[in-house]
Structure 1
Amino acid sequence: MSQEVSVMNRKNLKKQAEALSRVAKNFSKNEVESLIKLYHSLVGKTVDSNARRGIDRNTFRNILHNTFGMTDDMIMDRVFRGFDRDNDSSVSVTEWVEGLSVFLRGTLDEKIKYCFGVYDLNGDGFISREEMFHMLKNSLLKQPTEEDPDEGIKDLVEITLKKMDYDHDSKLSYVDFEKAVKEENLLLEAFGPCLPDIKHIMAFETQAFKDIIGS
C-alpha cells in the first residue's frame, strides 16, 4: 500500500512541477521538483497550526535570516508579504516557487517590480518621503553616533529623491523607480537589502538542487 502511495505522490509531484515550471520560468522542471520537496519538508517544521497548509511567517523569517543572511526585521516582513500574494499569512507551494524564481534568478524587470513592492509600505503605488525615511533609518542606524542622526537620514532622503524622482512630485512612482534603476542598477536596493547576494544564492541552490547536481 505504501508503495502505491509513494508512486501516487511521485505522479502528483511531477504533475505539480510541470504546472509550476510553466509560470516559474527561471527554473527547470527538475529544479521546481526539488523546491516542492524542500517546501514540504519546511511546512513539516511549521509551528503555527493554522499555517499547516503553508510556511508561516516565523518559519519564513528564519529561512531569510539563516539561509540568506537577512537581519532587518521590517525588510524580512515585507519580503514575506511579497511572497504571500494572497495575504493569508502563509506561503503556499505556488507562492514559494514563483517567489523564489524572482528572488533567486529574476530578470532586472522582475526584480524592479519585486523591490518596489517591498518598499511601498502602505501599498498605494508610491514610495513616499516618510516610507524612505522609515526604511533608511531602520537599515542604517545600527549604533547612535551623532547628536541627531535623523537629520542625516533626512538629507539622504532628499539626495535620493533628487536622483530618482523624475516628475518632481516628492514621491517615487513605479515609473520613477524603474527609470532610476535602469540608469543605475545599484539603486535597485536603495532602501534596504531585500534580495540575497550571490554567495547566499549559490549556497542555497547547491543545497536545494544537490540531487540534480549529483545526477
Structure 2
Amino acid sequence: MSEMSSVNRKLIQALAETISKQVKHFNKTEVECLIRGFHYLVEQNISKNTAGGLDRGRFRSILHDMFGMTDYMIMDGGIVFRTFDKDNDGSVSVKEWIEGLSVFLRGTLEEKIKYCFQVYDLNGDNYISKEEMFQLLKNSLNRQPTEEDPDEGIKDLVEITLKKMDHDHDGRLSFADFEKAVREENLLLEGFGICLPDNTSIETYERHLFEEQWEH
C-alpha cells in the first residue's frame, strides 16, 4: 500500500511539474494540491463516462457548493462549464480544471475580462448581441411582479447598456467594446450575470486547499 502511494505521489509530482509550466499563477506545490483536490472531487463523480474528469452536473455542484455560484442560466445552462471544457469533450480534465481555477482564484483583470466575455457570448460568435444581453439580464435580475411588462424594462436596460458600452455603435458588443468599458468601470465586469466567485469564497477555498492540503 505504501509502495502504491509512493508511485501515486511520484505521478502527481511529475504531472504537477508539467502543468505548473503551462498554467499561470500557481507554483508546483500548489499544483500538486490542486491535482489531489481534483482527484478527490472526481472520486465523488457519479458519472462513469467522463474518463477521469468532471461531468457537467458534478462541475455545477462543485461551483455551487465551493464558490456559491447560483446564476441559473450561467450555471445550469452550462456556460461556465463550456469555458472550462476547452476541448469540448463533455468532461473537465485536471489540466482544464487548474487552468480555469487560475483565472477564478488569481486571474488578472485582463484574464477575467476575456473569461467573462466568453461566458456572455452565448453563441460563440465573438460578439455579445442585444438578444444575448436580454437573455442574460432577464435571467439575472430578480423581478418583482408588477402590472408593467417586465420584458420592456429589460429591453430599456439593454439599450442603456449599449449606449454605455458599445463604443463603435454597431448595436452589439465586441471584445474591444467590452474590454474598454470594463477598464473604465470595473463593476461592469460581471454586469450580465455573476460568473466569478467572490473574494470570501476564494479565500476560504485557497485556505482549505493549500493550507490543509486535503489531509482530512
Shorter-chain TM-score category? over 0.9
Deviation at 1:142, TM superposition (A): 4.7
Q: Distance in 1 between matches of 2:136 and 2:142?
A: 10
In the alignment, does 2:82 pair up with 1:58? no
Please give the residue correspondences for 1:75-86 in structure 2 after superposition, counting only pairs within 5 Å. Answer: 75-76=74-75, 77-86=78-87
| Counterpart position of 1:31 | 30
After TM superposition, the score normalised by the length of structure 1 is 0.94
Q: Which moved more, 1:23-32 or 1:37-46?
A: 23-32
| Counterpart position of 1:108 | 109
Deviation at 1:146, TM superposition (A): 4.2
CA contact (8 A) 1:126 1:171 kept: yes
The superposition leaves residues 69-93 of structure 1 with CA deviations (integer Å, 9 ceiling, x where unpaired) of 1111221121111111111111000
Look up the SS of the partner of 1:51 in the other structure: coil
| Counterpart position of 2:14 | 15
Q: 1:30 to 1:145 in 2, by over 3 A?
A: farther
Look up the SS of the partner of 1:209 in the other structure: helix
Q: 1:62 to 1:142 in 2, by over 3 A?
A: farther
CA contact (8 A) 2:30 2:210 kept: yes
Q: Distance in 2 between matches of 1:183 and 1:157?
A: 19
* C-alpha RMSD over aligned residues: 1.4
Q: Distance in 1 between matches of 2:41 and 2:163?
A: 43
Deviation at 1:9, TM superposition (A): 1.2
Deviation at 1:172, TM superposition (A): 0.3
Please give the residue correspondences for 1:14-163 in structure 2 after superposition, counting only pairs within 5 Å. Answer: 14-76=13-75, 77-163=78-164
In structure 1, list runs of 5 or more residues that go unmatched. none
Look up the SS of the partner of 1:47 in the other structure: coil
Q: 1:56 to 1:116 in 2, by over 3 A?
A: same
- Runs of 4 or more, structure 1, over 6 Å off, are none
In structure 2, list runs of 5 or more residues that go unmatched. none
Q: 1:187 to 1:3 in 2, by over 3 A?
A: same
User: What is the letter of the counterpart of residue 41 of structure 1?
Assistant: Y
CA contact (8 A) 1:104 1:201 kept: yes
Q: How many residues align?
A: 212
Look up the SS of the partner of 2:3 in the other structure: helix
| Counterpart position of 1:197 | 198
